[in-house]
Every structure is written in structure tokens, then in C-alpha cells.
Amino acid sequence: MLPQIKTILYTTALGSHTRPVFRFAVGLARQHNARIVLLHVVEPLNNSVRFLMESYLSPEKAHELHHEATRGVLEKFHKRLEAFCAEELGATLEQTEVISEIRVISGVPYEVILHEADRCKADLIVMGTHTGGARRVDFLGSTTRRLTLLSKRPVLIVPVTDSSSNEWPEALI
């Protein structure tokens, strides 16, 4: 018996090269009558930036500024994801049955993805990864590699290229 796929966690970096991956996830969801939870992870400030902020500002002011900036970035990315869905699906989130939720969260990408997969009880995680060209063998990024090693659920990796074309690279067909 084949496993049922009812919830797909689709994680995206929102680059233009990820559109084929999104289309793949939508096609898969429609084929299985599943819903998609769309996730974008915003990485937190690194230690160097935090150190600089705290060197010139009081700890309270640095924390407040970081909180405001993070909230603004999260809201901006949420709107970008809504626009992305509208462009690709030709409908708003309320009009589509495929996308059930959009989540934009700040944190370490692989940790957030694993946590969100548990939270939404995803049956499958779908993500894209750069191929870096037809001759490149080590095409998995660090987030993808960690997910494939640590995930308790299947991870579907869809290769993408940096070209402006939305076609699959010949070497991967």
C-alpha cells in the first residue's frame, strides 16, 4: 500500500529559480488531493552584526531594533509569498484550495523546517536545491543535506538552476 500524502510542507527561498519547484509541489498536491503549507525561513542576524549593534546601542535599544526589523522582514516576506502564489496559481489564498497556510519564521533553516514539519504533521517535505551546473556532483546545500539526514519524514528534493528559464536542465531530465 502506498503512503497517503495529505499535507506537503513546501519550503522556499523565494528566488525566481524556485518557480518550477513550486509548480511541482502544486502538481503533486493536486494529484494526491493534498494541501500545501508554504514555508520561508528568514535567518537571524549573525553574531558579528549583533556585536556591532550592541557596541553602538544600549542592549535594550539593540533588542528593540532587532525585533522591529525582524517583524518587518517577516511581514514583507509573507506578502511576497502571497503575491508569488497569486502569480503562479492565478488566485488569492482564499480562492485556492491547494495552499492551506503561509508561514514565515525567523530561525536556523533546517531546525525551523523540521519543527514546522512536525507542527503541521507533514507527510512530505518538498524543497529545491541548486544543481550548480550539469557537471556538479555535490549539488545538495547544507540545509538540504541536514534535512535528509535528520528528518523523520520523506524529503523530496527538486533540482533547480539559476537560469532565467523555467525549464528543467537537460542533464536532469
Residue 27 within a domain: yes
The full 3-state SS of 32-69, as one line of letters, equals HCCEEEEEEEECCCCHHHHHHHHHHCCHHHHHHHHHHH
Length of the chain: 173
Angle (CA) 126-131-137 rounded to 5° is: 115
pLDDT of residue 132: 54
Residue 1 within a domain: no
49-78 confidence digits (pLDDT tens) = 767 777 788 878 877 877 777 777 778 878
Residue 115 within a domain: yes
Please state at what angle helix 47-56 crosses helix 59-89, rounded to 10 degrees. Answer: 130
Domain hosting 95: range is 7-172
Residue 67 within a domain: yes
**Mean pLDDT value across residues 122-145:** 72
Per-residue pLDDT for 15 more than 90? Answer: no
**Mean pLDDT value across residues 104-112:** 89
Of residues 109 and 52, more confidence is placed in: 109
pLDDT of residue 130: 62
Q: Are strands 99-106 and 124-130 parallel, antiparallel or unpaired?
A: unpaired
Per-residue pLDDT for 171 more than 60? Answer: no
Percent of the chain with pLDDT over 90: 31
pLDDT of residue 131: 54
CATH number at residue 54: 3.40.50.620
Q: Are strands 99-106 and 35-42 parallel, antiparallel or unpaired?
A: parallel
Distance separating alpha carbons of residues 171 and 133, to the nearest angstrom: 9
In this predicted structure, which of 5-9, 118-122, 137-141, 149-153 has the lowest mean pLDDT?
Answer: 137-141
Residue 56 within a domain: yes
Residue 2 within a domain: no
Residue 55 within a domain: yes
Tell me if 134 sits within 8 A of 105, measured CB to CB.
Answer: no
Of residues 171 and 99, more confidence is placed in: 99
The number of folded domains in the chain is 1
